[in-house]
Amino acid sequence: MKIASKYRAFILLALSLSLIVACKHDPEIVVAPDPDPTLCDTITVTYELTVKPILEANCFSCHNAGNPSGGIDLTDFSKLTSLAADGKLMGSIKHLNGYSPMPQGSNRLSDCDIAKIDKWIRINDFKPDDPDPEPVGCHPDTVYFQNEILPLLISSCGVIGCHDPGTAQDGIVLTDYASVISTADVRPGNPEGSDLYEVLIEDDPDKRMPPLPNAPLSQDKIAKIRKWIEQGALNNSCEEINCDTTQVSFATHIMPVVQLHCLGCHSGNNPGAGIMLTNYNEIASAAGNGSLFAAITWQNGFSPMPKNGNQLSSCNITQFKKWIENGTPDN
């Protein structure tokens, strides 16, 4: 009996030691699930509540006034905004070629943190004044907000009675960049999580935008909005540096501009000012009586067009002028 009792005690001791060793050398690893990207709040972004905590956790230990690694003090707000303006801040935290990847020797910041910093830079427009800025040429694979997205939204959605500043159905304003981003719940890089895109592809006609009886946006316009969001939903613009004003045609130069900037208001059952611009005959008629050119050049006595939008580019205006001078050919 004594031997059996000692044997049992030995077995219990051995089991206890094995458990202790197992706990010491083989701890249970609990891996937190990846955060849901749709829960990344980039709607209300401020320096104090959003950006500064990210920099404090990841950057300030190296880049502060007492220890400015590389001579960079990110605690100095003016220096931080200068780095944001020239693209160095985003280049580093995105680990882009040509930039020193930050945080140094560590993993890249989360996509959510990067999106928040990117949003902060864009909504504050940290760019120094340039009295003679170099024009940015249009890249065929880039969607530009000021050139393509804003005119589309103003023409199709930001009209009186819908999403203009005076009406703002459901509090949504679609006539300027800051309002589009903040009120239409645009989440850069995530079209499916952006209300602006979701309402365009909604199957329920009662929820789809533009609402009935308006026709839905064409698939190419929806695809353009999607691509703009995928590319970061930037407040970008470009200039058509090689502007063709010698061989101007209706199909190539005039109609695409009308479709983008004018058709949303001047079509359907209730066209703006009763003016239809859906086909060649209607556009040529407006051009023939002088009202079209007067409106796009914002002449006194005429309602400036596009409504609520920026004036057409000098290239577009010159193309309209040439087309009209040539007798408004259907070419």
Q: Higher model confidence: residue 120 or residue 165?
A: 120
Burial (CB < 10 A; 0-12, 13-18, 19+), residue 316, is buried
> Is residue 321 situated within a structural domain?
yes
Among residues 197, 230, 263, the one where a domain terminates is: 230
Question: Among 176, 202, 230, where does a domain finish?
Answer: 230
Q: Which of the two residues, 44 and 24, has the higher pLDDT score? A: 44
Q: Lowest-confidence range among 58-72, 181-195, 204-218? A: 204-218
Residue 205, domain member (yes or no): yes
Is there a domain that residue 237 lies in? Answer: no
Whether 161 and 102 map to the same domain: the answer is: no
Q: For 237-274, write each residue's pLDDT tens digit.
A: 887 777 888 889 999 999 988 888 887 778 777 777 88
Same domain? For 111 and 164 the reply is no
Q: Is the preceding omega at residue 37 within 30 degrees of 0, hence cis?
A: no
Give which of 176, 159, 177 is closest to 167, Cα–Cα: 159
Domain with 303 in it: 250-325
Q: Nearest Cα to 216, choosing from 195, 202, 229?
A: 202
Q: Are residues 52 and 104 in the same domain?
A: yes
Contact 302, 294 (CB under 8 A): yes
261 and 218 in a single domain? The answer is no
pLDDT at 292: 93
Asked whether residue 134 is domain-assigned, the answer is no
Residue 130, domain member (yes or no):
no
Whether 190 and 116 share a structural domain: no
Domain boundary, last residue among 230, 264, 284: 230
- pLDDT tens-digit map of 196-227: 999 888 888 877 877 777 778 889 999 999 99
Total count of domains within the chain = 3
Mark whether 215 and 256 lie in a shared domain.
no
Answer yes or no: is 85 within a domain.
yes
pTM of the model: 0.56
Residue 206 resides in a domain: yes
Residue 283 placed within a domain: yes
Instruction: Give pLDDT tens digits for 90-117.
Output: 888 988 877 888 898 888 899 889 988 9
Tell me: do 110 and 57 sit in the same domain: yes
